[in-house]
Amino acid sequence: MGLVDYKQCWEYQEKLFNEVVAIKTANRDLPPEAQLPTPNYLLFVEHPHVYTLGKSGDEKNLLINNQELEHKKASYYKINRGGDITYHGPGQLVAYPILDLDNFFTDIHLYLRYLEETIILTLNDYSIKAGRSKGETGVWLDSENIHQARKICAMGVRCSRWVTMHGWGFNVNADLSYFNNIIPCGIQDKKVTSMHAELGHELNMQEVKEKLKGHFAKLFEAEFIAHSAEQTIQP
């Protein structure tokens, strides 16, 4: 979808989410042969500088005031996903899967692990060894070493009636200095990183997207079908 204002993209997510839920609700009153299939989407986007706080987050983890936000040309939103505070900006590849998990599997924990695995496998394609940090959602490097652990991908999702929205923020070429204005995800003792920082050069975003799509499709046993600005997903 390119570079899109956060609020505009959030509203677009809500639109797709509500459409999927409406189909599911209508299907309950129909015989199986008359029910409509629910669509599934994976939106790729970059946002102008923005901080978002999840519904379980602590506003104290935003370390700058409104005047400083304006000076940095950054926005701030409280939103309806899980998780604490995070940053999105140019060079960070954000993905919003809007899936009817009834088409795949009804297990939110497995869903999150598959999202993490999509990132881990993609990083492995670039010889970056990544993994998980016990008890913390997202993808990490050197997670077992408290002094070297650094987060490369944050995740926060919402799921209602087994339909998902929100997703991940994957630091590909992101300006990491913007993370200095928050306590990322409310975790004080670990740093953030990016593919650019780890490899020492800028990455081709389209190439990274294609690798992500390939791993996502295999994990979810799905295929992508081109559809205007977004991609629909066919289980």
pLDDT attached to residue 85: 85
The mean per-residue pLDDT over the stretch 73-79 comes to 86
| Side chain identity, residue 136 | E
187: confidence class by pLDDT, cuts 50, 70, 90: low
HEC secondary structure over the chain: CCECCHHHHHHHHHHHHHHHHHHHHHHCCCCHHHCCCCCCEEEEEECCCEEEECCCCCHHHECCCHHHHHHCCCEEEECCCCCCEEEECCCEEEEEEECEHHHCCCCHHHHHHHHHHHHHHHHHHCCCCCEEECCEEEEEECCCCCCCCEEEEEEEEEEECCEEEEEEEEECCCCHHHHHHECHHHCCCCEECCHHHHHCCCCCHHHHHHHHHHHHHHHHCCEEEEECCEEEEEC
pLDDT tens digit sequence for 157-174? 999 999 999 999 999 999
pLDDT attached to residue 183: 76
pLDDT attached to residue 56: 75
| Lowest mean pLDDT, pick from 23-27, 103-107, 184-188, 191-195 | 184-188
Query: CA Rg, the chain, in Å?
Result: 18
The mean per-residue pLDDT over the stretch 209-216 comes to 97
Higher local confidence (pLDDT), 14 or 185: 14
Residue keyed to tokens 């394609």: 125
Q: How far apart are CA 30 and CA 180, in angstroms?
A: 52
pLDDT attached to residue 42: 95
pLDDT attached to residue 116: 98
Q: How far apart are CA 7 and CA 16, in angstroms?
A: 14
- Position 37 pLDDT exceeds 90: yes
In the chain, the domains with their CATH numbers are: 6-28+36-234 (3.30.930.10)
Higher local confidence (pLDDT), 85 or 170: 170
| Lowest mean pLDDT, pick from 76-90, 153-167, 188-202 | 76-90
207: confidence class by pLDDT, cuts 50, 70, 90: very high
**Other beta carbons within 10 Å of 114:** 17
Q: What are the residue numbers of the active site?
A: 185
- Position 12 pLDDT exceeds 80: yes
Q: How far apart are CA 195 and CA 126, in angstroms?
A: 9
Higher local confidence (pLDDT), 177 or 146: 177
Question: Within 13 Å of residue 202, how many CA atoms lie on the same side as its CB?
Answer: 8
